Amino acid sequence: MSQNFFKSTRKIIGAGVNYKEVLRITNATKPENPVIFFKPISSLISTDENTIKVPKVFGAINYEAELGVVIGKSCKDVTPDQALSYVAGYCLALDMTGMDFILGARPKGLPWCLGKGFDTSTPVSRLITPEEIGNPSDVRVWCMVNDQLKQDDSTRNLIFSIPELISYTSKYMTLEENDLILTGTPAGAGPVKHGDVIECGLSDIVQMKYHVKDE
Ligand code: MG
């Protein structure tokens, strides 16, 4: 397992609406099961690249800072109790989102994957080991845009826990080494455009900084 784990990633699995505060401020009801979507692996970039590109088809894109879970060994249909034994480590991720596309598609019942799949839409940090992160279910996830704090919450406020996300997804498909699960974003996600600077982090364990530029 190298620091560049994502070069071998074969699936990026995202969880939507997974922080209690997001439910509260949107007056939404708690989903019965995790809301799961995919992102293409071509959307991944490392911190060696420092630019998130806004596709020409989108006016603005949203930042979503998230804790990522990196699978360490193949698993299928695991229980929540078993789930963490299949985790190699964690990462900081941004789940950049073409929100206008999603808001346009969702009410019509149309798929919204194009709003999640554009190039550079999944920046990830280095791999963080389980020892380094300590308790993954109490990690601060924060995000600043142009030096203003926009997101700040803890993974203890997830609706579906990390073991539950792994267990639920593994009922449907085999999770493989280096697969990445994005655990959802805290309240405060919002749009960025050309010229903005995003800085985000997990507690004081790891940070990333990206410049937003038009494609
Ligand atoms: Mg997200």
b (16+ CB within 10 A) / e for 177-188: bbbbbbbbbbbb
Ligand 1 (ion): residues with CB under 5 Å are: 64, 95, 185
Please report, as a single letter, which amino acid is at residue 183: T
Q: How far apart (Å, rounded) are the C-alpha atoms in residues 26 and 198?
A: 24
Query: Ligand 1 centroid vs 73 CA: distance in angstroms?
Result: 24
Q: In terms of residue numbers, what domain contains 76?
A: 5-214
Q: How far apart (Å, rounded) are the C-alpha atoms in residues 23 and 74?
A: 32
The DSSP result for 61-79, as a single string, is EEE-EEEEEEE-S-BSS--
Contact 200, 153 (CB under 8 A): no
b (16+ CB within 10 A) / e for 118-154: bebbbbbbbbbeeeebeebbebbbbbbbeeeebbebb
Q: What is the CATH number of the domain that holds 181?
A: 3.90.850.10
Q: Name the pTM for this structure.
A: 0.96
pLDDT digit string (tens) for the chain, length 215 residues: 456 788 899 999 999 999 999 999 999 899 999 999 999 999 999 999 999 999 999 988 999 999 999 999 999 999 999 999 999 999 999 999 999 999 999 999 999 999 999 999 999 999 999 999 999 999 999 999 999 999 999 999 999 999 999 999 999 999 999 999 999 999 999 999 999 999 999 999 999 999 999 99
Query: Ligand 1 centroid vs 169 CA: distance in angstroms?
Result: 16
Query: Ligand 1 centroid vs 21 CA: distance in angstroms?
Result: 14
Query: Ligand 1 centroid vs 62 CA: distance in angstroms?
Result: 10
Domain count, the chain: 1
Query: Ligand 1 centroid vs 95 CA: distance in angstroms?
Result: 5
Structure tokens at 214: 């038009």
Q: Give the CA distances from residue 177 to residues 89, 154, 160, in Å, rounded to whole numbers and listed in that order.
A: 11, 26, 22
Query: Ligand 1 centroid vs 71 CA: distance in angstroms?
Result: 18
Query: Ligand 1 centroid vs 94 CA: distance in angstroms?
Result: 8
Q: How far apart (Å, rounded) are the C-alpha atoms in residues 110 and 1?
A: 38
Query: Ligand 1 centroid vs 16 CA: distance in angstroms?
Result: 6
Count H helices and E strands in the chain, helices first. 5, 14
Count CA atoms closer than 13 A to 113's CA, side-chain side: 10
Query: Ligand 1 centroid vs 189 CA: distance in angstroms?
Result: 9
